[in-house]
Amino acid sequence: MGESESKSSSVKRAVVHRILRGFGSNLYGQAVVTVIQLAGVPILIHCWGVDLYGEWLILFAIPTYLSMTDLGFSQSAANDMTARAGRGDDAGALEVFQSLAVLVYLVACIGLLVVTIVCATLPLARWLHFSQMTITDIRWVLWLFAAEVLAKLPDGVNHAGFRSQGDYALHNSLYYSILLIQNGSVWLIALMGLGPVSAATAFFSVRVVATPSIALLLTHRHSCLTFGLQHARCDTLRRLVKPAFANISMPLALALNIQGMTLVVGSLLSPAAVVTFNTLRTLSRLTTSLVLSISNALEPELARAWGSNNPSLLNQIFIRGLGYGVWLSVGSASVLLVFGNSIMAAWTHGRVRMDVALFQLLLASGGVSVLWLHALGLLKATNSHLRAALWYAFASASAILLAWVLIKLTRRLSDVGFALLFLDILMLGYLLRSVSVLLDLSVPRILLEAADPRLLLNPLTAWSRHARR
């Protein structure tokens, strides 16, 4: 019995270590994105001027849709591989890995051919009325950006491999470090007095070196994963179609939610109301971003516990994570409620007014979303989130319709916050019922245990107490 308890404690310590490393890498990623956003704008405007920088941003945005050309298979394969590794099925994980690699590399090569033809033949001069770049520059920059996205696509295969072997934090840190190097190379090129073609070439070149280098690091660290065709199977990919479709559906539904609400506010109220809404929504979602850093770090461990058929560990990880998310959300929302007006004034230099009623509703919406986003992470980890993705699309459309009706009747901007809260409540009700079945726990028990303030103590202590119940 003593040996069994010691082994269980060792497993839990390893899980906590991986989660903390993953959380730290997510915080690092947020810091990198913040640096890029804050530093890039003034540097490129100073070097290129507003007009040329604006043309650069337009071309940079066009190929982003290519990032979804793996059709969501990388994420679903990552969870499947992690579950297989959790139960010791290294052969099955290798089969998924090689099947995914064949699909993604094939898609990337075909995509590169199509992009080359498109960039060379489309009448871009007639469509893009640029004053700073020549048509030749436009074609080169657009091709380099599109090629960079396609060259980054196989990094999803690398991510699946690292994640399945407990190295989520390492790959995540590498990803954001490379992103920082890419943007740093663009800034350096601009400061040297060179233009967008040279900058886009540097951005692309870093990626071309980085993706295969990370693949080599993966196979060096984890010899059980090798690239090749021997174990690739079409049937393996066929099993991942449903979760892959869900992985594509979720960002599309999110885009419907974000852009739909913006269009409703803009069409029924005013551009100024759109600025107020988007600014307050961004501020209120700071809490959600922090909590997602926890959920993203937990997802590989949930998949591993699910694959190893360890329901006790699965329940513990989920409830501990939910508890930390709840208390972090409560604390962050309280701070924003007290200091939100001051933050808003300093952030926008007083040019965007505070709508107190809207901000309060957005904070409430963010608090509820913390709960259902964490629940969604469990379904994603087990590749059982297709219905949740479809429900999110339905809930988003319903919330947009509700916002349109309410604003049409009242002309109050705060009603869009009510519609978003309605959306989050719909998602929470559906997802809590779904995870309660998966965990074999009642919804009240999940919420009561997650709200226990003693969870703020050492997580190993909390797990031990939970296991003795």
User: Residue ranges of the domains in the chain?
Assistant: 15-238, 243-468
**Backbone φ and ψ of 133, nearest 5°:** -105, 145
Q: Does position 443 have pLDDT exceeding 60, yes or no?
A: yes
What is the DSSP secondary-structure string of 55-102? HHHHHHHGGGGGGGTTTTHHHHHHHHHHHHHHTT-HHHHHHHHHHHHH
Q: Does position 466 have pLDDT exceeding 50, yes or no?
A: no
pTM: 0.79
pLDDT category at 78 given cuts 50, 70, 90 is confident
What is the DSSP secondary-structure string of 352-379? S---HHHHHHHHHHHHHHHHHHHHHHHH
State the pLDDT at residue 100. Answer: 92
Radius of gyration for the alpha carbons in the chain, expressed in angstroms and rounded: 24
Q: Is 423 helix (H, G, I), strand (E, B) or coil?
A: helix
State the pLDDT at residue 4. Answer: 56
State the pLDDT at residue 70. Answer: 66
**Inter-helix orientation angle 135-152/196-221, to 10°:** 10
pLDDT category at 69 given cuts 50, 70, 90 is low
Contact 330, 367 (CB under 8 A): yes
Q: Does position 7 have pLDDT exceeding 70, yes or no?
A: no
- Cα separation, 357 vs 272, in Å, equals 17
Counting Cβ atoms within 10 Å, is residue 399 exposed (0-12), middle (13-18) or buried (19+)?
Answer: buried
Q: What is the mean pLDDT of the segment spanning 339-361?
A: 84
- Cα separation, 150 vs 63, in Å, equals 9
First to last CA, the chain: 17
Percent of residues, the chain, with pLDDT higher than 70: 93
Q: Is 128 helix (H, G, I), strand (E, B) or coil?
A: coil
Query: How far, CA to CA in Å, does 429 sit from each of 74, 187, 319, 334, 453?
Result: 29, 47, 17, 24, 23
- Cα separation, 469 vs 463, in Å, equals 10
The three state secondary structure string of 139-163 is HHHHHHHHHHHHHHCCHHHHHHHHH
Q: What is the DSSP letter of 457?
A: S
Query: pLDDT of 133-160, one tens digit each?
Result: 888 888 999 999 999 999 999 999 999 9
Query: How far, CA to CA in Å, does 255 sit from each of 79, 97, 141, 366, 397?
Result: 24, 30, 26, 17, 11
pLDDT category at 324 given cuts 50, 70, 90 is confident
Q: What is the mean pLDDT of the segment spanning 360-373?
A: 90
Q: Does position 336 have pLDDT exceeding 80, yes or no?
A: yes
* Closest by CA position to 92, among listed 260, 239, 250, 245: 239
Contact 336, 287 (CB under 8 A): yes
pLDDT category at 469 given cuts 50, 70, 90 is very low
pLDDT category at 289 given cuts 50, 70, 90 is confident
